[in-house]
Amino acid sequence: MATTEVHPASEPARWAYLDRIRTRPGPFTNPDSFDGKVVAEAMENMKILVIGAGGLGCELLKNLALSGFKDIHVIDMDTIDISNLNRQFLFRQTDVGSFKAEVAARFVERRVKGVKITPHNCKIQDFDEDFYMQFQLVVCGLDSIEARRWINAMLVNMVDEEVEDSYKPLIDGGTEGFKGQARVILPTVTSCIECQLDMHAPRAAVPLCTLASIPRQPEHCIEWAHVIAWDQEKPFPDLDKDDPEHITWLYQKSLHRAREFNIPGVTYSLTQGVVKNIIPAIAATNSVIAAACCNEALKIASNCAPFLGYPDNNYMMYSGNDSIYTYTFRHERKDDCPVCGTLARPLPDIDQAWTLRDLVDSFAARPEAQLKKPSVRAEGKTLYMQSPPSLEAQTRPNLDKTLVELGLVDGQEIGVTDPAFATVVFKYRLKFKS
C-alpha cells in the first residue's frame, strides 16, 4: 500500500522523545556506569523475539518497532482469516490466506524505517534451544496456554548458571474479553508460567450429562454434536476444526438437536466459535496489554526505569469487566514447580558401568533426597517405577542392566519421584566419571 510509506524528516527527529528517556541519566540509572550512547546502541543491536502475530502480536510489533528495537523476529504459524481484520490492524482484505507473521513483518518494516523484522511462519516447537539462544528478550502474545507452557519450559531449561547469556527474560501478555494480564518472568529467578498455572481459569466445561440429556443453550447443542454425535457417527476419520465441511456437519447436527429441544441461536459462526474455543477478543484490551508489555521490554532493555518482575511485583492484572480495576502483585515462585522448582542438579561421579540398581540405591544416601522408594525416568524412557505393580514388574528387569545398556548418556536428565516426598520431583543431570 503506497499510503503506508512514510519518510520522517529525519531519523533523529523520530527518536527524539525516546532518546530523552533512554539516553539521559535518570534517578534509576547507575551513575557510575551510565552512558546514554551505549544504551541506544545496545537496543538497536538487541535481538528480540515476538511470539504470536495475532491481536496482541500486531500491537506488540508496532509498539516495539516504535520504541527503538531494530532487530525483531516473529513466530506465528497461522494464516490470516477474514474474521481477524476487525482488530489485527496490520492485515488487509487482500492478505486473507497469507501468513500472519509474514504480512505483519512487511507492514511494520514499511511503516517504520530502519527496523528489520524476520518472520517465521511455523510453530514455536519447530525450533530448538540454539534458535532461542540468539535472543535477548522474548515477548509473548499468545492465546494458548499450551504454547505458553512450552516456551516457558524451554527458557527455564535453557538457563545455565555458568552462562550469563542463557537467562532470557520472558514478557507475557494475555487477554480475554475485557480482562488481561501482563507479566515478566526471569527464568529460575522469579515465578514462572508453570508456577502461575492456577492464574488461568480452566476452560469452562459443561457436564457431559447436561449435553447428553438436558441441553439448555445453543452452545450445549454444539458441544453435544462435537463431543458425542461426532464419536457416534464418525462422519470423517479425524475432526479438522479448520475444515468447513467438518464444521458444516457439526452445525447441521447442532441445529437439528436445537430444534428438538426448541433452543434458538445455533449458527455456523457460533458452531465454529464453540468448537475452536474462540475467546472473544476486544481490540482495545489487546492495546492496553500490549502497551504494558512493550514498555516493560523497553525498560528491561534500557534500564531507564524499574520494571515489572524483580524484586517484588511480577504480575499485572487488568480487568475492565466492572469499571476498571488493575492490580499488580508478586506471584511467588513455587518450590515444587515441575519446571523451575527443581532445576536439574548435577549428579556427579556416576560410573557408567553401574547397574540401574546401583543408581537407584544411591539416592537413599544423597543428603538432599534420602529416597527410600525412588522411581526413575528419563524423557521417553521409563527406567524403574516402584508403582503401580504392573509397571514395576515391566521395569524390574532394567535394574540389572548397566546405565550404558539402558542408553543413558553423560549429561542426560532424569526425573526421580518418591511417595515420601509427595509434592517434590527431583531432577538430576547424570555426570559420568571419566
Which residues have a catalytic role annotated? 209
Q: Which stretch binds Zn ion (CB under 5 A): 133-141, 189-197, 215-223, 344-352?
A: 189-197
Choose among Zn ion, another protein, none what residue 66 binds, the Cβ cut-off being 5 to 8 Å by kind: none
Rounded to 10°, the helix 268-275/244-260 angle is 110
Q: Which amino acid, one-letter code, is at 389?
A: P
Minimal distance in Å, beta carbon 82 to Zn ion? 39
How many residues line the site for another protein (CB under 8 A)?
Answer: 81
Return the C-alpha torsion angle 315, 320, 321, 326, nearest 10. Answer: 40
- Check binding of 330 to another protein (CB under 8 A): no
DSSP-derived pairing of the beta strands 137-141 and 170-176: parallel
Choose among another protein, Zn ion, none what residue 176 binds, the Cβ cut-off being 5 to 8 Å by kind: none
362: Cβ contacts below 8 Å, ≥ 6 apart = none
Q: Among positive and negative, which fits the CA dihedral 251, 256, 258, 262?
A: positive
- Check binding of 213 to another protein (CB under 8 A): yes
Record the cell numbers describing residue 113, joined without a space.
524505517
Q: Residue 172 — φ and ψ, nearest 5°? A: -120, 125
Binding mask 394-413 for another protein (x = CB under 8 A): xx-------------xxxxx
* Strands of the 375-378 sheet, one edge to the other: 345-350, 426-432, 413-417, 375-378, 381-384
374: Cβ contacts below 8 Å, ≥ 6 apart = 360, 363, 364, 386, 416, 417, 418
**Among 6, 16, 122, 208, interactor with another protein by CB under 8 A:** 208
The footprint of Zn ion on residues 299-338 (CB under 5 A) is 337
Minimal distance in Å, beta carbon 332 to another protein? 14
Choose among Zn ion, another protein, none what residue 364 binds, the Cβ cut-off being 5 to 8 Å by kind: none
The footprint of another protein on residues 101-120 (CB under 8 A) is none
- Check binding of 372 to another protein (CB under 8 A): no
Choose among Zn ion, another protein, none what residue 386 binds, the Cβ cut-off being 5 to 8 Å by kind: another protein
The footprint of another protein on residues 297-316 (CB under 8 A) is 300-301, 303, 307, 310
- Check binding of 101 to Zn ion (CB under 5 A): no
- Check binding of 155 to Zn ion (CB under 5 A): no
The footprint of another protein on residues 33-62 (CB under 8 A) is 42, 46
Give the C-alpha separation, 72 to 64, whole Å.
8
Which string of DSSP letters, residue by residue, matches 154-214? HHHHH--TT-GGG---EEEEEEEBTEEEEEEE-TTTS--TTTTGGGSPPP----HHHHHH-
310: left (phi over 0), alpha (psi -120 to 50) or beta: beta
Minimal distance in Å, beta carbon 57 to another protein? 22
Q: Taking a C-beta distance cutoff of 8 angstroms, is the pair 79, 99 a contact?
A: yes
**Among 138, 182, 222, 340, interactor with Zn ion by CB under 5 A:** 340
- Check binding of 192 to Zn ion (CB under 5 A): yes
Choose among Zn ion, another protein, none what residue 427 binds, the Cβ cut-off being 5 to 8 Å by kind: another protein
Q: Taking a C-beta distance cutoff of 8 angstroms, is the pair 18, 67 a contact?
A: yes
Judged by beta carbon, residue 81 or residue 405, the one nearer another protein is: 405
Judged by beta carbon, residue 142 or residue 337, the one nearer Zn ion is: 337
The footprint of another protein on residues 181-200 (CB under 8 A) is 186-189, 194, 197-198, 200
